[in-house]
Amino acid sequence: MKGKIALFSLFLAVGMSDVYAVSGDDVSAGDTNGQPERVEKKKRFSIGGYGEAVYSRNFFSDSYLRYNSASKAESLKDEKHSRFDLPHVVIFLGYDFGKGWTMGAEIEFEHGGTESAVEVEEEEGGEYESEIERGGEVALEQFWIQKSFCPEFNIKLGHIIVPVGGTNMHHMPTEFFGVYRPEGENTIMPCTWHETGISLWGRAGDWRYEALLISGLDSERFSRKGWVHDGSASPYEFKIANNLAGAARVDNYSIPGLRLSVSGFVGNSFRNTLRTPNSSYDDIKGTVTIGSFDFHLDRWNWVARGNFTYGHLTDSRTITQYNMSFDNNSPSPKQSVASDAIATGVEVGYNVFSQIHKLDQKEQKLYVFGRYDYYDSMYKTASSIIDYDYCGRQRLAFGLNYYPIKDVVIKGEYSIGLMKSYFNNEPSLSFGVAYSGLFDI
């Protein structure tokens, strides 16, 4: 048992499942009825991942002008658009060095990755031309070295997930019902949030804890629609760490089938950039504070998940004025940012195959689910900052999740974004297929 647990301590303190481990030596095959024990050498290398392929038919316009005015919204109300997408395709790699030392890495391809090439253009006099053939992103989302002393105490150093909120901690496609990740947390804060730093974590009985020291966010990249969402990114070849920040998470499993969790983040965001503000900004800190509660119930053939996340930013008015003073070549979006943001949501699903004996025996599942979200990236604003109504909305969704086997899910969902004021509501029909698992090689 010890060796099996150790196999996946590599990268799964955050992500695949709640598996905790201490590295060990070769393990016995078990009871041998008095015969010499057969010792199996532990697998040191492991590989896994998850991926999503989706199609959406959106019964609303994707024009960037759709939130500009009532007359523009009216002129666009009959427009529709469709899209195929690969939101996330991820490869996990891990290695157990022995004596409690492990390594984990996660490479993520978002929206199919990127494709670029240099071509000779025959129609343009044989000139060399660089072309982007596919959009998307490729990122090293995790890379860390871990030392496990015991299940109650582990140290992880490197590029790690920041487990604030339900979605960051449980972001694989088999851990939420929707075709896409829950919109609320995915809008107002980084998701999946990963930073370079140090983490202390462990599990004792029904409690799991994690505490992190990481780089602070960058206020230059805050915006009205995403609040601090882009603040963890860096346009440079390195992440600026003029400001450090702290994050923590506590999970409780005392009630069978139920996980209750609280998490939070606090850190200054102003001056976490290459540009040095002048002395008139000496008192500006831009402190970001985020608190979150989330839960997961899986019992009696029901699955219910939910979250409540609230964030506050100090000095938001000054940060808005400062960011909007940048020139057009700056990587800053040059937008206003709110002082407070909120995201809450709940989803409930029932496995109807639990009532069909043959399908239940085959461990196939079909969840009928519903979900409600409310979020607003401009929930509260400082004086003189415009509160853009389109930044807040409610969302309803209904659909199916079919699991032919444990690690593969086929999803279908109808959703509608209920907008404020004169904006058009945003209904959508989406389908997807996804997997999440560890591969035995």
R_g over Cα of the chain: 24
pTM score:
0.85
In the numeric block, the tokens 């991926």 are attached to 51
Q: How many domains does the chain have?
A: 1
How far apart CA 297 and CA 210 sit, in angstroms, is 21
Nearest to 11 by CA among 43, 51, 45, 52: 45
User: Which burial class, exposed, middle or buried, applies to 441 when counting CB atoms under 10 A from its CB (0-12, 13-18, 19+)?
Assistant: exposed
Side chain identity at residue 141, one-letter code: E
Cα distance between residue 255 and residue 81, in whole Å: 45
pLDDT of residue 41: 55
First-residue to last-residue Cα distance in the chain: 19
Task: Please tell me the distance from the alpha carbon of residue 426 to that of residue 417, in angstroms, as a whole number.
Answer: 5
- The H or E element that residue 52 is part of is strand 45-58
Q: Is the Cβ–Cβ distance between 413 and 368 less than 8 Å?
A: no
In a domain, residue 313? The reply is yes
> Cα separation of 56 and 414, whole Å?
10
Domain annotation covers residue 202: yes
> Minimal CA–CA distance to 155: which of 204, 189, 106, 197?
197
- Burial zone of 34 (CB within 10 Å; 0-12 exposed, 13-18 middle, 19+ buried): exposed
- The answer as to whether 16 is a domain residue is no
Residue 250 CB partners (closer than 8 Å, separation 6+)? 207, 208, 209, 210, 261, 262, 263
Phi-psi region of 29 (alpha: psi -120 to 50; beta: other; left: phi over 0): alpha
List the one residue out of 189, 276, 293 whose CA is nearest residue 231: 189
Q: What residue ranges of the chain have pLDDT lower than 70?
A: 1-42, 114-136, 440-441
**74 burial type by CB count under 10 A (0-12 exposed, 13-18 middle, 19+ buried):** exposed
SS3 322: helix
Q: Is residue 46, in this structure, part of any structural domain at all? A: no
Burial 333-349 (b: 16+ CB within 10 A, else e): beebbbbbbbbbbbbbb
**Residue 322 CA neighbour count, 13 Å, CB half:** 25
Q: Are 132 and 115 in contact (CB under 8 A)?
A: yes
What is residue 25's three-state secondary structure? coil
Tell me, what CATH number does 272's domain have? 2.40.160
Q: Per the domain annotation, does 403 fall within a domain?
A: yes
Determine the structural domain holding residue 410 and report its residue range: 52-88+137-439
304 touches 346 (CB < 8 A): yes
Residue 409 φ then ψ, to 5°:
-135, 140
| 96 in any annotated domain | no
- 429 found inside a domain: yes
